[in-house]
Amino acid sequence: MLCFFLKKNLIDNIYKILKLARFYKSYRRYVRLISRGELPTLSFYPCIDDNTGATPFDAHYFYQGIWALKKIKNSRTKSHIDVGSEIKWVGLLSTVTDMTFIDIRPFNAKLENLTIRSGDILNLPFGDNSVSSLSCLHVAEHIGLGRYGDKLDAKGTEKACKELMRVLKPGGNLYFSVPVGKEKTYFNAHRVHLSKTIIEYFRGLKLIELSGVTDSGEFIENIDMNILENSTYACGLFWFRKKEG
């Protein structure tokens, strides 16, 4: 394990040195273009990772945000609760519905239609069967690994699913995503689950739709579960509804 990290750090540092050399070469070329001589080194603000052939993006977060926002908007819900998802997406969602954001690490921002509350996904501050529209995107795979200061718990993801199911109102919608594929725990980053494991965790809810982002970064609506089950690090996008009666 130690050898792996030392080798990775060595490779990373070599790349950084090469990028800094390119930065300095670019700086020397730039000062020749200006009439007042060299820029003071205190003016340096090296951005060495942005010179790429294409704009990089995280396919999981990009597609899941569009997928969930479209469904929430089309549902015409007057209020929505999100647990721990990406805060930029939460801010955008507040433009289409009244938003409440719950997280173990709340952030300080003020927006119309956005309420931010401190809360634990394993003990949500809502009663049973009380939330009609709920989301939790790329969150539950971290629970119980201690990455964000939470308590270690080998069944953290499963318990998070049960708590989300507890507060969901009969007839209510849950938009949920996690990494899916061959099951493995990457301590302390995240877990990868089989899609059928997640569906089992939410037994009692009706699966309305399963979409996904493949290992290659392709978004597929109503994806064949077999594609996800044979993946390494895909993203499962689950739309559940709680049965009424």
pLDDT value of residue 16 = 87
Are 129 and 191 found together in one domain? Answer: yes
| Residue 52 counted as domain residue | no
Q: Single out the residue of 228, 235, 237 nearest to residue 182, CA to CA.
A: 228
Are 64 and 176 found together in one domain? Answer: yes
| Residue 160 counted as domain residue | yes
pLDDT tens digits, one per residue of 45-79: 889 889 889 999 999 999 999 999 999 999 999 99
Are 130 and 23 found together in one domain? Answer: no
The answer on pLDDT for 1 being more than 70 is: no
Q: What is the mean pLDDT of residues 114-127?
A: 97
Q: Are 82 and 88 in contact (CB under 8 A)?
A: no
Q: Which of 45-49, 91-95, 181-185 has the lowest mean pLDDT?
A: 45-49
| Residue 97 counted as domain residue | yes
Banded pLDDT at 125 (limits 50, 70, 90): very high
pLDDT value of residue 4 = 53
Are 127 and 10 found together in one domain? Answer: no
The answer on pLDDT for 36 being more than 70 is: no
The whole domain housing 100 covers 59-242
Burial class (CB in 10 A: 0-12, 13-18, 19+), 80: buried
pTM summary value: 0.90
Are 160 and 208 found together in one domain? Answer: yes
The answer on pLDDT for 123 being more than 90 is: yes
| Residue 131 counted as domain residue | yes
Q: What is the mean pLDDT of the chain?
A: 93
Are 86 and 19 found together in one domain? Answer: no
Are 6 and 73 found together in one domain? Answer: no
- The 3-state DSSP class for residue 109 equals coil
Q: What is the mean pLDDT of residues 188-214?
A: 97
pLDDT value of residue 115 = 98
Are 31 and 70 found together in one domain? Answer: no
Banded pLDDT at 40 (limits 50, 70, 90): low
| Residue 51 counted as domain residue | no
Number of domains in the chain: 2
Q: What is the mean pLDDT of residues 213-238?
A: 97
Are 151 and 200 found together in one domain? Answer: yes
Are 216 and 108 found together in one domain? Answer: yes
The answer on pLDDT for 7 being more than 70 is: no
Distance CA 185, CA 69 (A): 29
Task: Compute how many other C-beta atoms are within 10 angstroms of the C-beta atom of residue 57.
Answer: 10
Q: What is the mean pLDDT of residues 103-119?
A: 96
| Residue 48 counted as domain residue | no
| Residue 121 counted as domain residue | yes
| Residue 49 counted as domain residue | no
Distance CA 77, CA 94 (A): 12
Are 108 and 35 found together in one domain? Answer: no
Q: What is the mean pLDDT of residues 210-237?
A: 97
Q: Single out the residue of 132, 134, 133, 154 nearest to residue 143, CA to CA.
A: 154
Q: Which of 8-12, 106-110, 176-180, 198-202 has the lowest mean pLDDT?
A: 8-12
The answer on pLDDT for 38 being more than 70 is: no
CATH of the domain at 233: 3.40.50.150
Are 134 and 168 found together in one domain? Answer: yes
Q: What is the mean pLDDT of residues 117-145?
A: 98
